[in-house]
Chains A and B, each alone.
Chain A
Amino acid sequence: MTRGWLIAGFGAAALALAPVLGLAGLAAQGSGELWPHLWSFVLPQAAKETTTLLLGVGLVVSIVGVGTAWTVAAFRFPGRGLFEWALLLPLAMPAYVAAFAYADLLHPLGPVQSGLRWLLGFSSPREFRLPDIRSMGGCVLLLGATLYPYVYLTARATFAMQSAAVLEVPRTLGAGPLRAFFTVALPLARPAIAVGAALALMEALNDVGAAEFLGVRTLTVSVYSTWVNRSSVEGAAQIALMMLALVVALVALERWARRKQRSMSSARQGRRASPRELGPLGQALCVAICAAPVLVGFGAPALHLAGEAFARVRAFGMPPELFREAANSFAFASLATAAAVALGFAAAYAVRVCGAPARPALRAAGVGYAMPGVVVAVGLLTPLAAFDNAVDGLAREWLGVSTGLLLSGSGAALIYAYVVRFLAIPAGAIEAGLARIPTSLDDTARSLGQTPTGVAWRIHAPLAAPAIGAAALLVFVDCMKELPATLLLRPLNFETLATHVYGEAARGSYESGAVAALAIVIVGLAPVALIAKASGRAAVAHAAAGPAQAAAPEPA
């Protein structure tokens, strides 16, 4: 039985590694003749831009994510309940859509600069203009504003669970709230912040749409341009593998640096700290801190999209194919989510029951998240076609019929690509969720005659349900937004909302895609609201554990 879980874990890993093998196959066909050119003219610049981008985005998401998480966790202010979930809204906003929206909003002809000119008394953009959003700075701010919720989500969960006793120590020793935050709360939350920041940085690294549009040439963009313009898919595969190796090494390094912190994060807590009351000025500051990221990462671009979408619908009517595309997006994202959660659970659970031997499988299962979507897709082309053509060959030989292409160019290939791309999310979240369940429960259940699978169903799945649910929702939103793999692998006559937006953007008429872009955001809102509700419920459950303490007066 235990062996079954081990096999399932390695099965998930094998599925995730298939595109890496496909990629390695492509890379091996290359001669390397392109490398002198790449080293001289492409990679140093791309590496510099990538490093700057990642440092910038890392800084923005950490400051914004931690700042907002601490604000809603530690202080009482008007609208706190609203901001608690509203701060997650940017998750529903694809970075490429936000980039299109901001290019419009902040253009010298757009509403922001026109308004400023009017205020300042300038008549023409030739006299006064703001710096161009199409720049490194613009890209950092934009990706930071749409990706900070990853840090907010993990940091808030940790702050919400920090015990009051721990936080009261610095305060009784005379430290103010700021000092208490920096000396105790923040260091304790560091592992959670690192996890959130790592997710955000992977997303930033693998972004192509927004970076390319804003004129930032990252390594990922250079994988694209090597493939398409330098006409070398082999060279592109080589760069992609090099990047993958770098990312894997960085992740391993980060894990090694945190190796001693495991016991700290799992320390059990008593009663929770309750939020502090603030004066009117403090309350206003809290509202401003929370409102700004929601406005920048969601409110402004969403309102702009809504305005554009309204104008399009009024002028040209509803795009007739919109509902079918929305149904496609929804159906494929749902199926991929179900598959990813099942495989992620298998890989994480294998570690729970088999321990160390299953750990490499769990790590390998997450490899797709470290690769750009298009690289996963290109890597999958060869294995999928090899499988199809082998089955076809066998069928012709033994049965005298052709099965044609079973997976290539089918919906199954697309779902497979989504699963590989995002499997790291459920695998990691479920691993963390399971780690919170004491092993004594397993032993008790086993001693009462349960098999490991029985324990999984009856004990672990229900107890880890919040982690599983949150992971499922994140995967769903990511699949809804996914573009490059969808473009390459999809079946004939198949459009999703994302491909629709891209089709319009590709011919330079992104405003025509406004309706579909708004639809992506709207469909993404429901899961975001669910994540917020689920994590809110977890906090309530914690509070309920000690109602008496929670009601106790705040130490002065």
Chain B
Amino acid sequence: MTARLLAGAAALLASALAAPAFAAEVNVYTTREPGLIKPLLDAYAEKTGTKVNTVFVEKGLAERVAAEGANSPADILMTVDFGNLIDLVDKGLGQKVSSSTLDGAIPAAFRDPGGQWYGLSMRTRVAYVAKEDAAAAKGLTYENLADPKWKGKVCIRSGQHPYNTSLIAAMIARDGRDATKAWLQGVKANLARKPAGGDRDGAKDIAAGTCSVAIGNSYYVGLMRSGKSGPEQQKWADAIEVVLPTFKNGGTHANVSGAAVAKNAPNKDEAVKLLEYLVSDEAQGIYAKANYEYPVKAGAPVDPILAAFGALKIDETPLVDISKNRKDAAALIDEVGFDS
């Protein structure tokens, strides 16, 4: 009985490990949730016949690629957050790519001048506001969140989540460390509950009356409002209005997902081709439609749910400057005890 079980397990294992032969392959290591990039990679595989292999490594992608060294099978390193992407490049894990297609499609602000990393899609850090508080939140700035009028009314996920460290790093880049620290203390004093859960929990907690304003990513609104996540979440989305906050005298904070070609990529040409596909009109349309992200390509259409948030003005603080302040942002969160 045991022997038969083991034999069966071994056979299963062999079939799991055996790779079918394809004309071309490209290996993607990604910190993006698999569900978000699968539609894109499936579309590419269907179109070109290239087999796209993926592994979702949420934490430790850099360590894994660095340890694998010269023999690493990774071709593309894809991240959900530009800060992590710039880190990968700073650690020497990427390589320079020259592609007029990429340079033509991606605005200069969203790619590395040295050609080592490329932004592929965008999401904004927005405010979900309870319907009855929508009037009070008109013209909301990120700085306003520390205003005592929101006392006991603000919900947010852990300050140490990359989406929040990126926002806080942007504020350090704009307003300086001290002003940001004071702001964080103000926001902490306004929290309705301990920072926990995910962005959608903010909308859910507004629906439950726990808070009046919650900070969350733009695409979750698309996922909830469209009904793609079931009728229950549609109810949460119905409880909120989306406000696009700006920095004082600035714009709305956007986080960029992107990719780099790995330093030791065994299939570099395939990797570049895949990146070029990801900024094509078709792929940028999938980003917008399937994921409710903003395309990086100028002129690519935005999903109507997102367009309904109102006119978007992206903050112009350079991504590299924001990235430089990420460690400081993480330190500030500790210093003010934001998460505790």
Contact = CB atoms under 8 A, between A and B. Distances in A.
Contacts of B63: 233, 378, 381
Highest count of chain A CB atoms <10 Å: which of B68, B72, B223: B68
Nearest to B236: A109
A352 interface: no
Nearest to A45: B340
B13 interface: yes
B193 A132 contact: yes
A507 B209 contact: no
A382 B55 CA distance: 19
B200 A504 contact: no
A230 B33 contact: no
Interface stretch (A171-179, A210-218, A266-274): A210-218
Interface in A473-528: 484, 487-495, 499, 502-504, 506-509, 511-512
Chain B binding surface, main DSSP class: helix
A209 to B, nearest CB: 12
B35 A382 contact: no
A41 B16 contact: no
A410 B34 CA distance: 19
A207 interface: no
Interface in A15-63: 37, 40-42, 45, 49
Interface string B308-340: 000000000000000000110011011101011
B327 A231 contact: yes
Contacts of B204: 107, 109
A355 B204 CA distance: 60
B5 A126 contact: no
A511 B224 CA distance: 12
Interface stretch (A87-95, A283-291, A325-333, A449-457): A325-333
B196 A134 contact: yes
Contacts of A343: none
B193 A315 contact: no
Contacts of B67: 381-382, 384-385, 408
A229 interface: yes
Contacts of A503: 33-35, 56
Interface stretch (B111-119, B158-166, B273-281): B158-166
Nearest to A408: B68
Interface in B53-93: 53-60, 63-64, 67-73, 87
A392 B71 contact: yes
A132 B155 CA distance: 13
A9 to B, nearest CB: 24
Given A45-B340, A331-B13, A491-B17, A389 B70 contact: yes
A331 B16 contact: yes
B200 A508 contact: yes
B247 interface: no
A67 interface: no
Contacts of B72: 405
Given A41-B337, A108-B208, A230-B327, A504 B35 contact: yes
A75 interface: no
B193 A335 contact: no
B84 to A, nearest CB: 9
B340 A405 contact: no
Contacts of A206: none
B57 A487 contact: yes
A233 B65 CA distance: 14
Contact of B160 (A225, A402, A405, A492): A225
Nearest to B5: A334
Contacts of B59: 224, 227-228, 374, 484, 487-488
Interface in B182-222: 193-201, 204-205, 207-210, 220
A348 to B, nearest CB: 20
Interface string B9-26: 110110011000000000
Interface in A221-249: 224-225, 227-231, 233
A108 B209 contact: yes
Interface string A354-397: 00000000000000000000100110011011001100100000
A46 B72 CA distance: 36
Nearest to A392: B71
A133 to B, nearest CB: 10
A231 B331 contact: no
A392 B70 CA distance: 10
A224 B194 CA distance: 19
Nearest to A415: B13
Contacts of A488: 57, 59-60, 64
A103 interface: yes
Contacts of B160: 225, 228-229
A125 interface: yes
B55 A125 contact: no
Contacts of A405: 68, 71-73
Given A107-B204, A134-B194, A511-B230, A499 B331 contact: no
Interface of A: 37, 40-42, 45, 49, 103, 107-109, 124-126, 129, 132, 134-135, 212-215, 217, 224-225, 227-231, 233, 311-312, 315, 324, 327-328, 330-332, 334-335, 338, 374, 377-378, 381-382, 384-385, 388-389, 392, 402, 404-405, 408-411, 484, 487-495, 499, 502-504, 506-509, 511-512
5 contacts: A134-B196, A215-B194, A327-B12, A488-B59, A512-B229
Given A229-B162, A330-B12, 8 more contacts: A108-B209, A224-B59, A229-B160, A324-B16, A408-B68, A411-B16, A503-B34, A507-B35
Nearest 5 CB-CB pairs, A to B?
A215-B196, A108-B208, A508-B198, A41-B334, A385-B67
